[in-house]
Amino acid sequence: MIREIAFLNKHLLWPTLIGSLVLLTVFLWKEWPQSGKSRFIFKAFVSSLAIGSLAAIALKPTFLKEVEKGLGVLITEGYDNNQLDSIKNTYKKVKIIKYEKNKPLKQRLDSLSSLFVLGHGLQTYDLWQLDSTPVTYLGGSLPKGISRLNYSKENTIGSKVILNGLYNEPQVGNRLVLGGPGGASLDSIKLENESSYGFSLEADLPVKGKFIYALQERDSLGKLLSNEPLPIKVIGRDTLKILIVNNFPTFETKYLKNYLAEMGHQVLVRSQITKNRYKFEYFNRNKTPIYTFSEKNLSDFDLLIIDVGSYRNMSLKSISVVENSIREEGLGLFIQPNLNYFRLPGKTSHFSFERENMVEVSIQESNRAVSKYPYRFKEDLGVLPSYKYGNQLLAAYKKMGKGRIGTTVLESTYELVLNGNSKTYQQFWKEIIEATSKKSIPIAEWNPASKFAYKDQPFEFKVRTEIENPEIKSNDGYGIPLMQDVEVASIWGGTTYPRNLGWNKLILQNDTTQVYEYFVMDSTKWRSLTKNRTIHDNVRHFNKPVIESLNMEVPQEINPLWFYLVFLFSAGYLWLEPKLLGS
């Protein structure tokens, strides 16, 4: 079916029509002396054909032709030739399209009703090009190498950086080595004969600053096979103000207060000696005792650590003050449990527990088990982990307004220190304190879309800020357009294309103290990881059914050869006619 004539050169329509009318008028004026003869009418018709052909050559007329849409295959890096041959054998009229990064696909897809995508898939920034096309993503062979990696890019001084990941199809006997900024080997693991091998590496972070660690792969002879950068930023510890209240002095608090003081926190310990008599200890702070709880004196603290005896002996007024400080001021509360605590109603303990027989547990590298109460947390809605080892939830917290309430099922964590596991003890309490203590609200909270950034490739990020109309610039001084989230007004998203390798910055112009630093590498780094991420993004994006064929109307240009022939014959007749028949 053919209908709807149109022109490719629509912009030339009026000039062409005017020019054609002028030419036809000149011809008729020239031939007007012969207007009484039959030759005049025929020559006028022939001249109209000649002029019309010239106009058509200039305008390039097209028509809509109904055609049957076909099936296409988009081949990307890592596609399987056997998979492609199978599709060719099944679908005889299939169009093969080779994918090129950041190149338009629309014109090559117009004649297709559906598309197979083979290989690792399209880059994330190109997926939008297939939004209007039904796609079946068949994937390809999984790349060998590291397929998953998880680690914290920002850590506090004195903590550990812990790398957890998966290695696809490892070479047995090779080793993964975590290298420090100076090239020294900090930790290593031997790859085993598994199709997907999980690994974990760790290293201490003793110095503040920005560093490039490395994850290396070496063969059995120590030859370097790969060397991937690991950007890590080590920041100073936040100094907290912590109040510890005990019904009587305990070994648990003795070791805890010493650890907190060593970490530089400002600690006040109040231990009851007899009725209405207390012993006060001060670490890194002024000697100002606290006898009763009020919203004023609690506002000076980030975390209240209290044992069950003191917690249960508080007056209703004190309980109201503490809970109001948690809700309104963001105070953190950690309850040091005893056996009776787990029998309290959930409204009082703030948690629900289930009894179990396990009374000891080994955590991390501890060479001896640590005592625990014969209870475990009921992981109800709202219970969040503050310390979890394997599948064991050993400490948890709940949010209450702006603050948090936490506790643990461990009985005597100081046993870790006595057994020579001081690092495990410190890590345990570090994570609990970070999870439970008062949280300061940052002016800008940055959240990148991906862990790594690459030169000249889009780097997407979100920033949460209460600043109206925030402005962000790169370290090159270029402004980055921001788009406000449609649901959360304080979240803004942007995309930048970093030009410089190494550490780069995003700077909030409304408050230039708010800077996000990220490391940019070239595209040859972390190839297996980025390929696996591309596969994951494609699987998640494509979920449309395949339709083998549909009819569609496509514009088709009329072959200009016909117009050239009409003009040639018409012009030839008009030139020969006077010579053969005489004027």
| pLDDT of amino acid 432 | 93
Better pLDDT: 390 or 313: 313
Q: What is the CATH number of the domain that holds 156?
A: 2.60.40.10
Q: How confident is the model at residue 545 (pLDDT cuts 50, 70, 90)?
A: low
304 and 401 together in one domain: yes
Q: How confident is the model at residue 547 (pLDDT cuts 50, 70, 90)?
A: very low
For residue 10, the 8-state DSSP code is G
284 and 404 together in one domain: yes
- The average pLDDT across 73-102 equals 87
| pLDDT of amino acid 546 | 47
| Total number of domains constituting the chain | 4
Strand 112-118, strand 135-139: pairing: parallel
- The average pLDDT across 138-159 equals 86
408 and 275 together in one domain: yes
AA identity, residue 261 = A
Strand order in the sheet with 482-484: 445-448, 459-464, 491-496, 482-484
Q: What is the CATH number of the domain that holds 376?
A: 3.40.50.880
| Lowest mean per-residue pLDDT among 117-126, 190-199, 232-241, 361-370 | 361-370
| pLDDT of amino acid 394 | 93
User: Which residues lie below 8 Å from residue 26, measured CB to CB, with a gap of 6+?
Assistant: none
| pLDDT of amino acid 1 | 43
- The average pLDDT across 528-551 equals 74
Q: Which residues of 30-68 are buried (b: 16+ CB within 10 A; e: fewer)?
A: ebeeeeeeeeeeebeebbbbbbbbbbbebbbbbebeeee
| pLDDT of amino acid 367 | 62
- The average pLDDT across 170-180 equals 92
Q: With CA atoms as reference, report the closest residue to 210 among 480, 460, 522, 505.
A: 505
Question: What φ, ψ does residue 394 adopt, rounded to 5°?
Answer: -100, -20
394 and 279 together in one domain: yes
Domain membership flag for residue 450: yes
What stretch of H or E contains 192?
Answer: none
| pLDDT of amino acid 439 | 87
Q: How far is 513 from 505, CA to CA, in rounded Å? A: 12
432 and 309 together in one domain: yes
| Lowest mean per-residue pLDDT among 81-95, 161-175, 482-496 | 81-95
Q: With CA atoms as reference, report the closest residue to 243 among 272, 296, 283.
A: 283
CA dihedral 344, 345, 347, 349 (to 10 degrees): 30
Q: How far is 146 from 272, CA to CA, in rounded Å? A: 55
- Given its phi and psi angles, is residue 410 left (phi above 0), alpha (psi -120 to 50 degrees) or beta? beta
Q: With CA atoms as reference, report the closest residue to 307 among 357, 254, 266.
A: 254
Domain membership flag for residue 506: yes
Is pLDDT above 80 for 582? no
Spatial contact of 527 and 78, defined as CB atoms under 8 Å apart: no
| pLDDT of amino acid 583 | 53
Give one DSSP letter per residue of 321-372, joined into a string. Answer: HHHHIIIII--EEEEE--GGGGGS-HHHHSS-EEE-S--EE--TT-SS-EEB
Domain membership flag for residue 510: yes
Domain membership flag for residue 465: yes
Is pLDDT above 70 for 68? no
| pLDDT of amino acid 334 | 96
Q: How far is 350 from 285, CA to CA, in rounded Å? A: 31
Q: How confident is the model at residue 520 (pLDDT cuts 50, 70, 90)?
A: very high
**Proportion of the chain in helix, strand, coil states, percent, rounded to 5:** 30, 35, 35
Q: How far is 431 from 420, CA to CA, in rounded Å? A: 19
231 and 245 together in one domain: no
412 and 481 together in one domain: no
- The average pLDDT across 354-358 equals 91
| pLDDT of amino acid 217 | 93
Q: With CA atoms as reference, report the closest residue to 461 among 435, 436, 485.
A: 485
Question: What φ, ψ does residue 295 adopt, rounded to 5°?
Answer: -60, -30
Highest mean pLDDT among 67-71, 175-179, 545-549: 175-179
186 and 289 together in one domain: no
Q: With CA atoms as reference, report the closest residue to 229 among 307, 149, 342.
A: 149
157 and 292 together in one domain: no
Q: What is the pLDDT of residues 280-300, one digit of tens each?
A: 999 999 999 999 899 999 999
| pLDDT of amino acid 574 | 79
Domain membership flag for residue 463: yes
For residue 12, the 8-state DSSP code is G
Number of C-beta neighbours around residue 340 at 10 A: 11
Is pLDDT above 90 for 112? no
Give one DSSP letter per residue of 40-93, joined into a string. Answer: HHHHHHHHHHHHHHHHHHHH-EEEEEEEE-EEEEEE-TT--HHHHHHHHHH-SS
The model carries a pTM of 0.65
Question: Which of 205, 236, 267 marks a domain boundary?
Answer: 236
For residue 127, the 8-state DSSP code is G
Spatial contact of 144 and 524, defined as CB atoms under 8 Å apart: no
Residue recorded with tokens 């030139």: 575
- The average pLDDT across 269-274 equals 91
Q: How far is 178 from 144, CA to CA, in rounded Å? A: 19
Q: How confident is the model at residue 548 (pLDDT cuts 50, 70, 90)?
A: very low
Domain membership flag for residue 419: yes
Q: How far is 161 from 158, CA to CA, in rounded Å? A: 10
Q: How confident is the model at residue 505 (pLDDT cuts 50, 70, 90)?
A: very high
- The average pLDDT across 152-170 equals 88
Q: What is the CA radius of gyration of the chain?
A: 38
Domain of residue 563: give its range.
2-65+557-581
**Residue 490 three-state SS:** coil
- Alpha carbons within 13 angstroms on the beta-carbon side of residue 46 total 18
Secondary structure E strands in 112-240: 112-118, 135-139, 145-150, 154-156, 160-168, 175-179, 185-190, 196-204, 209-218, 224-235
Number of C-beta neighbours around residue 347 at 10 A: 6
AA identity, residue 214 = A
Q: How far is 215 from 163, CA to CA, in rounded Å? A: 9
496 vs 205, 219, 446, 505, 509, CA distance in Å? 30, 38, 14, 11, 16
Highest mean pLDDT among 42-51, 113-122, 239-248: 239-248
- The average pLDDT across 445-449 equals 91
Domain membership flag for residue 23: yes
- Alpha carbons within 13 angstroms on the beta-carbon side of residue 26 total 7
Q: How confident is the model at residue 554 (pLDDT cuts 50, 70, 90)?
A: low
Over the chain, what is the mean pLDDT?
A: 87
Provide, rounded to the nearest whole percent, the portion of the chain with pLDDT above 90.
42
Spatial contact of 6 and 62, defined as CB atoms under 8 Å apart: yes
What stretch of H or E contains 181?
Answer: none
Highest mean pLDDT among 7-21, 36-50, 420-434: 420-434
427 and 291 together in one domain: yes
Burial environment of residue 188 by CB neighbours within 10 A (0 to 12, 13 to 18, 19 or more): middle
| pLDDT of amino acid 60 | 84
Domain membership flag for residue 569: yes
Question: Which of 236, 263, 278 marks a domain boundary?
Answer: 236
Question: Which of 216, 236, 256 marks a domain boundary?
Answer: 236
554 vs 1, 62, 502, 562, CA distance in Å? 11, 10, 49, 21
Is pLDDT above 90 for 251? yes
172 and 207 together in one domain: yes
Number of C-beta neighbours around residue 532 at 10 A: 21
151 and 32 together in one domain: no
Number of C-beta neighbours around residue 16 at 10 A: 19
